[in-house]
A and B are shown apart, each in its own frame.
Chain A
């Protein structure tokens, strides 16, 4: 393909993204180093020196980590089960797993508001069984955010894992067992290492997704702030754009660092390179 044709095909899209995505982001990053007329790192020193901000960051990271672990714990056995099915039932089960993924996050968060509320299913059950004499506060706590995010991202984990698990030859496991390996050791020494690239990718997608999700913590978290709702609050309610920009840059940095590490790990884990 001639150079001129190649440029002609790529340029419109590149210009569009350049003007409307790259430049605004670069300018936003730049703006965080410039405050009150001088070049400064004060935005960041202020952010990381403030205990309230650190608390929000910590809550976000903890919530995301727990969500990732829950998705792995729930997703791995399910993905393993799906991967051992025939092509037809695998397709149906995957479709069922994908459907919630395409459903609006508002719809999904709203369903948890119904379930976790003070008059919701869970509290009805808890009071009904006599486990507590008054309804528990679940909604508008970090627990509610974890439940909502796990529901939101579990399909992504399942899909990432089915992708690697279905390529593992069952004969390997059977061979290991016939040579005397226990079920557990066959799993730990054969299935797990082969599935590791999928586990890494799934975990990173869920972790980064949880770290940056907005709708679920906005609806289920109440006054409990996470970093994304904190960004929105500063940008739109408090109109503190300097702080909002600092938060935005921190979120971009975390995302790129985690994804970059994932790409390196995935390359090393994948023998085919």
Chain B
């Protein structure tokens, strides 16, 4: 029994090295003191971290990305929480279909969704680029909000809400005073998951960039295509730190099982 597990353990260890090794290599190369991106690095310095802040495009697009992801998050919550509540609270004909529609932005290939959004929102409806970005990001965040909030509601005992209603509370006040506080951590987790999804998005944003308009991932993509220096490694490390922190918060709030269903 033991030997078998030893072999399995070794195999799994190698798989984890494959998964994490490349990220560790990025981490190491970000401290390169020279100008050539290489592993192992020639020494240790923070010069490429300083370099990030000297490239105007990175700071500007970082702000755009944050603004789009946060604002889109608010819209997705406004559409998503009522929908998740209605879908969890009642059964009606066509419920599966509507549930499927709310989750469908995950299923439709991002690069296709981005193309159709660009074609109609920007070119046919003549919306400004920022509006297109905001709408596109709201669309892709919506399924994550609906799914995580619905999963949070599935553990909520609606008898408590019934009790509030029978004691004279209105529908609105029962929802805001009884239901909402109970699913608060689920809502925050859904926001963070949706935020990561939007903040890292490329497939949609890649169609919605124009003069002066871009998101951080797109700026990074363009940079990588033209330069091969450790700046991107340094930004990558900062993004990984951000990811790690958000992941820790999500784990505390809802557990990581939220990621295990895609």
Contacts and interface: CB of A to CB of B under 8 A. Distances in A.
B54 interface: no
Contact of B116 (A28, A105, A228): A28
B26 A111 contact: yes
B34 to A, nearest CB: 13
Contacts of B85: 9
A12 B107 contact: no
A251 B113 CA distance: 11
Given A77-B11, A96-B19, A114-B26, A10 B82 contact: yes
A259 B107 contact: yes
Contact of B26 (A105, A107, A162): A107
A97 B19 contact: yes
A81 B260 contact: no
B256 A106 contact: no
Nearest to A211: B109
A24 interface: yes
Nearest to B240: A103
A6 B112 contact: no
Interface stretch (A33-41, A126-134, A230-238, A264-272): A230-238
B86 A9 contact: yes
Interface stretch (A15-23, A44-52, A189-197): A15-23
Contacts, number: 242
Interface string B26-60: 10010000000111000000000000000000000
Contacts of B260: 94, 98, 159-160, 162-163
A5 interface: yes
Contacts of A17: 101-102, 104-105, 139, 142
B97 to A, nearest CB: 11
A178 to B, nearest CB: 13
Contact of B105 (A10, A12, A21, A75): A21
Contact of A156 (B107, B120, B262): B262
B203 A214 contact: yes
Contacts of B119: 24, 28, 235, 241, 245
Contacts of B187: none
A78 interface: yes
A105 B83 CA distance: 30
Contacts of B232: 106, 110
Nearest to A96: B16
Interface size class of A (residues with CB under 8 A): 35 or more
A251 B109 contact: yes
Contacts of A223: none
B112 A248 contact: yes
Given A10-B86, A81-B9, A102-B247, A107 B236 contact: yes
Contacts of A244: 115
Contacts of B109: 211-212, 228, 251-252, 255
B22 A112 contact: yes
Contacts of B19: 96-97, 100, 151, 154-155
Contact of B83 (A13, A81, A183, A259): A13
B160 interface: no
Contacts of B89: 1
A24 B120 CA distance: 6
Contacts of A110: 26, 224, 232-233, 236
B67 interface: no
16 contacts: A1-B86, A13-B82, A25-B108, A28-B115, A78-B12, A81-B8, A81-B12, A104-B243, A106-B217, A107-B240, A111-B236, A114-B25, A159-B262, A212-B110, A231-B111, A236-B207
Given A96-B20, A212-B112, 17 more contacts: A10-B87, A16-B142, A21-B117, A24-B117, A28-B116, A81-B5, A98-B260, A99-B20, A106-B217, A107-B23, A108-B22, A112-B22, A114-B25, A120-B39, A162-B260, A236-B207, A251-B109
